[in-house]
Structure 1
C-alpha cells in the first residue's frame, strides 16, 4: 500500500534535501508534499578535519526543485504544529520522511498517523547525535544507516531496518562518509519499496543514552584511531563473507577472501566453527580441499569439541557403500578419528550409535592400518 508522504527538508540549498526530493519525485511523481524549514543561524563546528574533499555539483534549493517538478512546497517551521496540521488536513499525508530537519517536537510527530521516519548516518544507539561518523570509530561499531521512526527523544523510536556499509581496506574518511551518504539514498529506495507493498514493521529501538557533541580534540583523536577501526571493520566484513561462502559453496569468494586475508583461515563463528568446519559440514569438497591446501587445521573443533571429521561424516552416515571422497580427503590431510569431544566420544562412537556398521568397519580398518 502506497502511503501518502510529507518530506521534511531545509529551505535552502542542501544536498540531502535535493537528493530525497528527486528520489521521491521519480517514484511518486507529484504525490507528496514538501515541508521546508527556513534557515537559522546556528553555532556549527566548521573546522576542517579532512585532508581531502570529494567535489560535487552544488544542490538546487528545495523550492526551485519543487517548482520545476510541480511538487507542493511549503516553507514552514518544523515545530509549527498549527500549520503542519493544516497541511495534513489539506494533503491527507500519513507518514513523514526526514531529509533535513532539526529536532521535531512530539506534538508534530503525533500529527502523522504512521509516524515520521529518519535516516540516521550511523548505528543507533551507539552513534546517536550529530557526530555519528566519529562515534562509529570511537565506539568501534560498523558504519551504516539506521532507518527508524522517531519519538520525542533524539535518535530513538522504532527501528525499521539498518543498512550496513562495506568499508574498504584503503578507504579514506572522506570516502567512507561519502559512501555512507549514498547509502542513505539506497535506504530511502528500500523504504519506498516497503511502503509500496507492505506496512512498516518496526521493533523497539532502545536508546538509553544520548551522545554529547564531540570537541575538536576528540574528533582528531577519532581520526587518529580511524586506520585501526577501518582494518577491524574490513576484517569483520571479510570474515562474514568467508563464512557465508563456505555455507553456500562459493569457492570464488573463499579464494578472494583467503588470498587477501590469510589470517582469517582459522577465524571462528560464535559457535566456534572454522571455515573448514562449515564447508565440511555442508559437503563442499572443493572448498575443503582448498582450505586444507592453505594450511587449515584439519583437527579443528567447535566449542563442544566436535571435530571437523565429526561434522563432515554426518551427511554420509547410512548412505554410501565406500568411504566418501570428502572423508577420504580429510584423512589424507591428517584427520584424527580417535579424538574425543567434550562427552568423551570419538567419531567411531557416533557412527556406531547411528547403526552404520558399514562405515564403522571402514573407519576401524583405517585405524588398524595406521
Structure 2
C-alpha cells in the first residue's frame, strides 16, 4: 500500500489512562495502533524519553523491534528532565534511549532550541557530534516553537553544520514563517513539521471567518492534514498517533492528496500576521501536568486554543473548548483551586494557571464575537 513518505508518527499521544495520578499507557490499544500504522505504510516513528510517564521508548522498542531495519526511528534529548544525572547526562540519556528502543543507532536525535537560552546547546552539539561519528546517531536535529523560530538562522549559524534537520511542532500560517523555512530548506536543512488538528472524524462546522467558503463533509483533522501535506517546504510531516480515526484520516489524505486544490484548502487558514494581544501559549501535549485534581484537561484546552491561534478555525476551536469547559462545570476560573500541581510537574516551567485563565477569557470573548457575527448575518 502506497503512503506518502512524508508521514511520521509521533507517540506523544498514544492511548493512556491515569492510575492514582500516574500516567499509564494502554499498551494493548497502543500496540494495535502502532501495528496498524505500520500496516498502512507508515515507516517513520518519533518519540521521546519523557512521553507518557517515561514509557514510550521501551514500548516502541518492543513493538517495532521485528521491523527495525525497515523504519526510521527518532527521539529527543530532554535536557530539562530533572531525573537525569548531573554528570554525563547526555551520554546517560542517549545510551538509555538506544537500549530502550532496542536499536544500535537513531536515525535522528533531536535537541531543543530552548536550551540555547540556558547556554547548554554548544555542549550538547559536541556530544551529539561524537555520537554521530561513532555511528550511534545518523542525523542531528533541533526543535523550534513559534516563539523561537525566528532565531533559527542565528542558532544554526553557531552549530558548524552539525545540525542538518529542523523540526517545528506547529503549522506555519504566517508568511514570514514560511519564508524562513524555505530559506533554511534551500540551505540544505531537512524541514520536519507537525502538530495537526487531531479532532478525529468530527465534521468541521462552517468557519465564521470564511462563511462563503465551505467544503462539505470535511473534518478539522483532514483540513489541517491537507494544508500541511500540500506545502512543499516540508520533507516530513508529523502526526499524532492518538486514535484509529485520526490515523485513518491522515493515511487517506496521503493516498488521495489531490482531492482538493491547495488554494481551496488555504482559504480556511486566515491568520496573516502575529497578534501580540492573543495569549502566548505553547503546549507540547506531553501530559506531565495532568491529572488535575479538579478534572481540568489542561493540554486539551490549550490544543483547542491552537485550533484558532495557529490554524484560524474559529468554530472548531469554540466547539472543542466549550466541550472541555463544560466538563469542569462551565468555568475553569471557578474550577481551578490554584494548587499549582500542574506547574510543578510541567517540564517547561510554563505559567499554566495564568495561561488557562487567559485562554478562557479569550475564547469566551471570541464566542461573543461569533454570536454577534451570526446575528448580523
- The two structures have a TM-score, normalised by structure 2, of 0.28
- Rg larger in structure: 1
- The two structures have a TM-score, normalised by structure 1, of 0.29
